Amino acid sequence: MNPKQFLLVGGVVLALVGILGFVGILGPSEEDSIFGSWWWFDNAENIAHLILGIVALAAAFLLPEGMQKPLVILVGVLGIVVGVYSAAVSAMFLGANLESPADTILHIAVGIW
């Protein structure tokens, strides 16, 4: 997979997760999420996913190929940092609640990918 494909696939997935996260918040608890209790995203996470998805899609079409690879590397590093931070330091990261072990695993896996 080349950097443009990563940005396209990742952008669509992130934007969908952000939108579905907002749709799925039916109440104040994890059980009210469209994703169930395994992956429950608060509004801060939904906003972050939606914005990052839109930025990734824009970057896939607007950035020259030479700038896409460093951006993908930065996204990978960011994913690993957020995953390790949520596992080792705090479940709160820039206002987002990352207390689910699935959040940690997902961020690290995406970072490695």
pLDDT class of 79 with cuts at 50, 70, 90: confident
Average pLDDT over residues 82-109: 70
Rounded distance between C-alpha atoms, residue 2 and residue 11, angstroms = 14
Residue keyed to tokens 């992130």? 14
Q: DSSP alpha helices (H): ranges in 25-100? A: 43-62, 65-88
Of 7 and 40, the one with more pLDDT? 7
